[in-house]
Amino acid sequence: MSKPRKPFYFVFIVFLPILQIFTNAQGQAVDTTITINANSPTIVNFAGRRMDGPAKANPRNFSFIHTEAGSENLARRISEVKLFGTDGKGMADRKLVDGEYLAEGDIGSWRYKIDLEVPNEKNAAAHISWISNDRGILMLSDILPLAAQVKENITAIRFELPQGWKIHSSETMIVQDVFLTSDAGNAVFYIGKDWRERKISSGKFDLRLAISGEWLFSDEDAAAMAQEIFAEYRKIFGSDPAANATIAIGKFPAATNSGSWEAETRGRNVTVISSDMPFKTQSLQRLHEQLRHEIFHLWLPNGVNLSGNYDWFYEGFTLYQSLKTGVALNQIRFEDFLDTISRAHNIDSSQTRRMSLIEASQNRWIGADTQVYARGMVVAFVCDLMLLQSSKGKMSVGDLFRTVYNSHRPPDPAADANTAILKVFASHPHLASVVENYVKGSQKIDWRVQLDLAGIESEPGNTRSILRVKTKLSGSQKALLDKLGYNNWRKLTRKS
């Protein structure tokens, strides 16, 4: 049974705050109602209207996105589109292709349905909207018309859901089941009966966990883990991300192999869709890995106003920092840290078509993603060693993150990412050769000098690099290894 429609006066009192906010905003205002019926929950009804006249740009066009993170033909899920004029009267329209309509006049309101059946490609469950039985994820980017996702627009989203369904979101709830967003393209709603919500203690910052399904770890384990990782990153960046955030952890909606997972951090929403592991220790370890990577993205890239292809920095460098944080929080042994970096170095060295990091970032979606990740991670490690060595342990790769974050947070104006980041690198003269040879250049990474200064060597007799800590270490090598977390495990054992 779905809830009865709300009476008119309720709708009216909700309009008032929206209009007040709207008068202060640059863009236009859109009001959308999303209705889900208990007897056919995957067929979702949408009704929207513009609250301040036709769209400023292309007022007769009505269109949706077609692809998202590798999922194609998304507009094929849309049916029964009905467009109305600004006077509320029905209008004829021409369907150009799936998800593209042209009305005979300026559009004032609309209705349509979308079939949110679980996507066939299982990994898509972390990137596009779906509903399965009593649970679903709504990502507005693939279910609202593009005209309702314009950045400056204020969009009100009201939900009419089956009995017992709840909504978890980072967006502002103004009254029960009604939310306001000024960034609909990045808004995510976790809906259904079996999401359990928990507040994660993180000072003034409002961080929430929405979790569904049964796991080998408890909800408390997940919340404590997210709290610890968040606190660690806050130390690196020196401040919180801009606004509240939600971390959602759920099972795949369709059966999958043990061990597979997919995650995404969109706006202020971390979505981890996963299967469990056979044993609790593995299950906890993997959750830690997922959260270490994704939570970092709340600051970088999602917390900065930078544009362009700079995946080498926000993915490659993130992988490195996430690994280093794993050592710092005693989740990863130092040997495994070195082993992962060795493997990344081997991947980069074996590329026949050599690419600079800047070039690899431009081609990430056409096969260069391994290079972005592997080369980016090794370059981050080399930068970290250089900064630690030149500053006698006072600076690290964390200083690069902090400067980039603090120099480009909204409301700072948008800037080109690669120009901005290379400017930060340029303030550390020791990094000039790294930028020239590896970020802008496509040379193989020669790290012998830095490794030696750090007391790390490549195992002799191997053509591929297998890193290990030297048996005899000088005082400065010991100090540097300590900064990388080499002695963490021992410190922990001494404490306990």
Q: Which is nearer to Zn ion, 153 or 265 (CB)?
A: 265
Tokens 């299982």 correspond to what residue?
Answer: 122
Q: Which is nearer to Zn ion, 126 or 167 (CB)?
A: 126
Please state, in angstroms and rounded to a whole number, the distance separating the CA atoms of residues 437 and 401. 21
CB of 400 to Zn ion, least distance (A): 17
Q: Which is nearer to Zn ion, 187 or 270 (CB)?
A: 270
The answer, yes or no, to whether the previous bond of 411 is cis (omega within 30 of 0) is yes
DSSP secondary-structure letter at 363? Answer: T
Q: Which is nearer to Zn ion, 31 or 315 (CB)?
A: 315
Q: Which is nearer to Zn ion, 322 or 418 (CB)?
A: 322
Q: Which is nearer to Zn ion, 315 or 384 (CB)?
A: 315
Q: Which of 490, 491, 487 is nearest to 455 (CA)?
A: 487
CB of 301 to Zn ion, least distance (A): 9
Tokens 């009192």 correspond to what residue?
Answer: 13
Please state, in angstroms and rounded to a whole number, the distance separating the CA atoms of residues 485 and 229. 16
Phi, psi of 85 (to 5 degrees): -75, 180
Q: Which is nearer to Zn ion, 171 or 315 (CB)?
A: 315
Q: Which is nearer to Zn ion, 142 or 311 (CB)?
A: 311
CB of 293 to Zn ion, least distance (A): 6
CB of 220 to Zn ion, least distance (A): 26
Q: Which of 177, 146, 145 is nearest to 160 (CA)?
A: 177
Residues that contact Zn ion, how many (by CB under 5 A): 1
Please list the helix, strand and coil fractions of the chain in percent, rounded to the nearest 5, in that order.
40, 25, 35
| Token pair recorded at residue 14 | 């909700």
Site string for Zn ion, 265-304 (x = CB under 5 A): ----------------------------------------
CB of 297 to Zn ion, least distance (A): 6
3-state secondary structure of 247: strand
CB of 296 to Zn ion, least distance (A): 8
Q: Which is nearer to Zn ion, 29 or 229 (CB)?
A: 229
Q: Which is nearer to Zn ion, 53 or 367 (CB)?
A: 367
Please state, in angstroms and rounded to a whole number, the distance separating the CA atoms of residues 309 and 395. 26
Q: Which residue is nearest to Zn ion (CB)?
A: 315
* Contact predicate 204/240, CB 8 Å: yes
Site string for Zn ion, 13-52 (x = CB under 5 A): ----------------------------------------
| Token pair recorded at residue 179 | 């939310």
The answer, yes or no, to whether the previous bond of 59 is cis (omega within 30 of 0) is no
CB of 468 to Zn ion, least distance (A): 28
Q: Which of 180, 181, 192, 319 is nearest to 248 (CA)?
A: 192
* Contact predicate 94/133, CB 8 Å: no
Q: State the chain's maximal CA–CA distance in angstroms.
A: 83
Looking at residues 302 to 341 of the shown chain, list those that interact with Zn ion (rule: CB under 5 A).
315
CB of 144 to Zn ion, least distance (A): 25
Q: Which is nearer to Zn ion, 14 or 319 (CB)?
A: 319
* Contact predicate 176/79, CB 8 Å: no
CB of 369 to Zn ion, least distance (A): 11
Please state, in angstroms and rounded to a whole number, the distance separating the CA atoms of residues 351 and 360. 12
Q: Which is nearer to Zn ion, 112 or 313 (CB)?
A: 313
| Token pair recorded at residue 432 | 């000039």
CB of 318 to Zn ion, least distance (A): 6
In which order are the strands placed within the sheet that holds 100-103? 61-63, 100-103, 93-97
Torsion angle of the four alpha carbons 485, 487, 492, 494, in this order, in degrees rounded to the nearest 10: -160
CB of 323 to Zn ion, least distance (A): 13
Q: Which of 165, 223, 170, 232 is nearest to 199 (CA)?
A: 223
3-state secondary structure of 456: strand
CB of 449 to Zn ion, least distance (A): 30
**Residues forming the site for Zn ion (CB under 5 A):** 315
